[in-house]
Chain A
Amino acid sequence: MKKRRVVVIGVGNLERGDDAAGRQVARRLREAGGSDAAIFDLDGEATSILSALEMAEAAFLVDACVSGGPAGAVHRYDLAEGLPAAAHFNLSSHGFGLAEAIGLAKALGQLPRHSVAYAIEGECFEVGAPLSDAVCHAINEVAARLAEEICALEKRA
């Protein structure tokens, strides 16, 4: 199988307000086109994320987070350096989500050397709630920043 150059994985729950942020970023990028990146929007279950990481040379992961910052704040983490507070991503009631997937991929040697996580601070995670205004803005910002990062990576190749 041909290696995928770049993989984008947006995770979250589309039915729970700001938790949809990661998936909405993935969808914006897919709609915008213009790159060869493989784009996944997933519910956040760890083994699905690991599958999406298979064969990737570079990976961008996007999720909502809760770390006490203002809604819509954007955090960028170079995963070679690790996640500062894995628990902030742990919105899954099953305790086996993005942070665990990143940890597992690293332990198994399956995390691409170039791996970046974007986290968007959410404020409302109620069932059926719409995205908050602040998170809508952040989704556009992260989609634009990712498009630039992917473009730069693809030019370098």
Chain B
Amino acid sequence: MTRKTVKVDVLARVEGEGALKVVLRDGKVESAELNIFEPPRFFEAFLRGRHFAETPDIVARICGICPIAYQMSSTHALENLLGVKVEGPLRELRRLLYCGEWIESHVLHIYMLHAPDFLGYDGGVQMARDHGEAVKRGLQLKKVGNEILQLLGGREIHPISVRVGGFFRTPRKRELAPLKEKLKWAREAALETARWVATFEFPEHERDYTFVTLRHPSEYPLNEGRIVSNRGLDISPAEYDAHFEEMHVSHSTALHSHMRNGGGAYLTGPLARYNMAFEQLSLLAKETAREIGLGESCRNPYRSIMVRAIETVYACDEALRVIENYEEPDRPFVPVEPRAGVGYAATEAPRGMLYHRYRIDDAGTILDAQIVPPTSQNQACLEEDLIDFIGGFHDLPHKELQYRCEQTVRNYDPCISCATHFLKLEIERS
């Protein structure tokens, strides 16, 4: 029996703070635990007793990278509760805002967090010394996403314009016009990004994942739809709790999600969306996927960086479509009146599906809230990837094995801050 121990105190380039422990025995991974030790943040608890209208501003604070996702899932859930449907230009503006977040979040992960893994650098700063032009392109591309958030959301981080029923203020047509030229450049830069990441070398590892994503009859999963899987699940967001459960595991302050009735771990996020809804990507995104050799399905999580690049092309395309067709709405929001009830919604954050449920009373006071972020949902699946894949790397020298573990975690672009923040890594070979 061989025994080796690899210990890494800090795994960088993930959002938030946690640790990872991998135990290898005779070349096989015996256990892998994503140990999130960051204190729980109690957002669900301190929403209780607040007025429902405060929700979008409170939940935006859960994450500095994906605040729009939290605002969108919360507003949709509350509108579901209040019997309000936001359509027309207001719905389109929400899609535009969400596209901005997809662009800035995906591009940050592709260029600054994940690409260094494939090119052999400790981080984005070191990579920038040798790949300056690529990094400049990434930064400029991210900036376009941020500018969408700035314009529609009032500021880039934790935007303030979103409200239940719509927006506090909607832009004039002429305000959106300057974004159009920037997005045309961004779309070209996203194409270059896809071609760039396609040149990376990818470990050939695949798994037969249970993919869970939103499905909309005519749109790539983003802000609305039924919850579906590649195993036949097809439910409304109101049925989420009947099919999924959150469990506490001793090594993590973030809850683990599983499918009920033995359905086990599942994967949500870019890979799930891509596999389940390839045909709903824009024509250019589909053409680009074929050009870079991605095909219509992809079960190799290391190639998720390519999928993020394709989704970035899509987000630019979709943002341009919204701007080109934009008609100013008559009013910035649909009026809403409180009534007692329960509301449910899920939307697609850059990292995956984000489920919200709220119960309020007649006065509009929140009695109960449930928020299930994508990283909580993916945690069990991520641990299974480590168990399946890392054994194949067991002969690698210590430092390279550690690097493979980190890369495998980063396939998920985990946002530990959302799930409960910083990752420490410990590998034990025995």
Contacts and interface: CB of A to CB of B under 8 A. Distances in A.
Interface of A: 43, 45-48, 50-51, 93-96, 100, 103-104, 107-109
B125 interface: yes
Contacts of B157: 43, 45
Nearest to A50: B139
25 contacts: A43-B64, A45-B64, A45-B156, A47-B108, A48-B146, A51-B143, A93-B15, A93-B417, A94-B15, A94-B16, A94-B64, A95-B12, A95-B13, A95-B15, A96-B108, A96-B112, A103-B125, A104-B124, A104-B128, A104-B139, A107-B128, A107-B129, A107-B135, A108-B128, A108-B132
Nearest to A94: B15
A112 B139 CA distance: 18
Contacts of A51: 143
B205 interface: no
B15 A47 contact: no
B422 interface: yes
B12 A109 contact: no
Given A48-B156, A95-B15, A96-B108, 8 more contacts: A93-B15, A93-B16, A93-B17, A94-B16, A95-B12, A96-B112, A104-B135, A108-B132
Interface of B: 12-17, 64-65, 108, 112, 123-126, 128-129, 132, 135-136, 139, 142-143, 146, 156-157, 417, 421-422
A80 B48 CA distance: 51
A48 B126 CA distance: 19
Given A95-B422, A100-B125, A47 B142 contact: yes
B12 to A, nearest CB: 6
A15 to B, nearest CB: 9
Nearest to B14: A95
Contacts of A96: 108, 112
B124 A100 contact: yes
A93 B125 contact: no
A33 B143 CA distance: 29
A105 to B, nearest CB: 9
B303 to A, nearest CB: 24
A22 to B, nearest CB: 16
A108 B143 CA distance: 16
B74 to A, nearest CB: 20
Given A93-B17, A94-B417, A107 B146 contact: no
Contacts of B123: 100
Nearest to B157: A43
A43 B417 CA distance: 17
A50 B138 CA distance: 12
A50 B108 CA distance: 14
Given A93-B417, A109-B132, A47 B139 contact: yes
Contacts of A48: 146, 156
A96 B13 CA distance: 8
A93 to B, nearest CB: 4
The 6 closest A-B pairs by CB, nearest first: A107-B128, A103-B125, A93-B421, A107-B129, A108-B132, A94-B15
A94 to B, nearest CB: 5
A27 B147 CA distance: 23
Nearest to B112: A96
A47 B143 contact: yes
A96 B143 CA distance: 15
A93 B129 CA distance: 25
A108 B135 contact: yes
A29 B427 CA distance: 50
Contacts of B132: 107-109
A120 B135 CA distance: 30
A81 B74 CA distance: 47
Nearest to B12: A95
B172 to A, nearest CB: 24
A100 B124 CA distance: 9
A51 B147 CA distance: 12
A42 to B, nearest CB: 9
Contacts of A103: 125, 128
B136 A108 contact: yes
A66 B156 CA distance: 26
Nearest to A46: B112
A92 to B, nearest CB: 8
A157 to B, nearest CB: 28
Nearest to B415: A94
A47 B113 CA distance: 13
Contacts of A46: 112
Contacts of A43: 64, 157
